[in-house]
Each structure stands twice: as structure tokens, then as C-alpha cells.
């Protein structure tokens, strides 16, 4: 799962050379508008998080891709894919993504999410894929619902804020997402 193509996107495993772009996107206040932790505070924090992503790839054979368009394969526009993540005390395989705000509104998040779900079910044979979204993040909620994910529950994961929404897609016999 280290390399995939969609109609418009190139999805590849990240490499050390992607660290600067990773930091630029994850430190951008607009890109982190709904992230309770806010933008990454420093390059050191980004380097530590990025190293964790690379280790996830090494251990599990999948993770967060570096995302580029087929028209400009050397220009990373975002990051997204699957990663094991704690939902309170339960580990789940999480669909996540973050794009450069300059690329918002082009349908890239939906394209990435659909490809990620398909790969997770068909190639990794995952029984379920989850996504966590802040309740005010309408655009991401629309992406998840457009790709067939369904609201499952809420998770009280951010102190003094409304609970996050937990979405799920489950693998069917034919490897397509089904309702919970």
C-alpha cells in the first residue's frame, strides 16, 4: 500500500524529504482550524510526529500517505490515510487527512477518503475503519458521509468542549463499505 493512484491523486508513503511540507501544512492555522490541539508549535514537534508516522509505516505496512496531484507529483498538497489511533482506551484504525488550504474545495479529501476506505477493505482486509471529527467541522463531516461512513457515537476526548463525532465504515463480503 506504499503507492496508489486515484483519478487525480498520487498517494505515496512519506519520506524524510517530506518533513518540511508536513510541518508547513500542520503548522498552518487555517489547516488546523478544527484541530483541538491547534497548529504544530515547532519544527521539533513536527519532526517527532513525522518520525512516528514513518515508524507506523515500518511496523504496519500502511499509514498516512503524502498526497500530490498526478499533474504535479513532486508537490505535496496534503497528507492522509490510515493509522492506528487511540479512541479513549480503544485502539482503532483511523482515517485521517489534512490538506493545504490552497487546495480545499477541489474534492481531494473525498477522493483520498474513498481510495483509503477501498484500500483498507480490499488490501488490508480491515473489518472496520473509523474517523474522528469535531462536530463543527461541516466540510469533513460531508466528506465522511459522501464516502459512505456513518455516525456511530460520540467521544468525549477534548476537555471542556463538545464531544467529537465517531464515524465508521464496515467491510462487507464484497469489500465495500456498509452501514454500521
> What pLDDT is attached to residue 150?
98
**CA 37, 106, 119, 175 torsion: positive or negative?**
positive
pLDDT band at 174 (very low <50, low <70, confident <90, very high): low
pLDDT, tens digit, for every residue of 102-120?
999 999 999 999 999 999 9
Residue 173 confidence (pLDDT): 64
Three-state SS for 35-88 is CCCCCCCCHHHHHHHHHHHHHHHHHHCCCEEEEEECCEEEEEEEEEEEEEEEEC
Give the global pTM.
0.92
- Per-residue pLDDT, averaged over 78-89, amounts to 96
Per-residue model confidence (pLDDT) at position 179? 43
Report how many domains make up the chain.
1
Confidence of residue 64 (pLDDT cuts 50, 70, 90): very high
Per-residue confidence at 172, pLDDT binned at 50, 70, 90? confident
What is the pLDDT confidence band of residue 37, given thresholds at 50, 70 and 90? confident
pLDDT at 2: 78
Which CATH number is 166's domain given?
A: 3.40.630.30
- Over 80: is that where the pLDDT of 1 sits? no
Higher local confidence (pLDDT), 130 or 172: 130
Return d(Cα 122, Cα 119) in angstroms, integer: 5
| Mean pLDDT value of segment 128-148 | 97
C-alpha cell recorded at residue 116: 483509503
Domain of 145 in residue numbering reads as 3-178
- pLDDT above 90 covers a percentage of the chain that reads 92
Q: What is the mean pLDDT of residues 32-49?
A: 94
pLDDT at 163: 95
Gap between the Cα atoms of 22 and 20, Å rounded: 5
Amino acid at each position: 500500500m506504499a503507492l496508489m493512484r486515484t483519478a487525480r491523486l498520487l498517494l505515496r508513503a512519506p519520506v524524510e524529504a517530506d518533513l518540511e511540507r508536513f510541518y508547513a501544512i500542520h503548522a498552518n492555522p487555517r489547516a488546523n482550524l478544527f484541530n483541538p490541539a491547534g497548529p504544530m508549535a515547532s519544527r521539533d514537534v513536527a519532526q517527532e510526529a513525522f518520525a512516528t508516522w514513518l515508524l507506523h509505516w515500518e511496523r504496519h505496512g500502511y499509514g498516512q500517505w503524502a498526497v500530490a496531484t498526478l499533474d504535479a507529483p513532486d508537490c505535496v498538497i496534503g497528507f492522509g490515510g490510515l493509522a492506528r489511533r487511540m479512541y479513549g482506551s480503544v485502539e482503532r484504525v483511523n482515517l485521517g487527512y489534512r490538506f493545504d488550504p490552497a487546495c480545499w474545495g477541489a474534492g481531494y479529501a473525498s477522493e483520498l477518503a474513498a481510495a483509503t476506505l477501498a484500500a483498507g477493505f480490499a488490501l488490508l482486509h480491515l473489518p472496520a475503519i473509523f474517523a474522528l471529527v469535531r462536530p463543527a467541522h461541516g466540510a469533513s463531516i460531508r466528506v465522511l458521509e459522501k464516502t459512505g461512513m456513518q455516525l456511530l457515537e460520540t467521544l468525549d476526548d477534548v476537555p471542556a468542549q463538545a464531544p467529537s463525532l465517531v464515524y465508521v465504515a464496515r467491510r462487507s463480503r464484497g469489500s465495500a463499505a456498509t452501514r454500521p
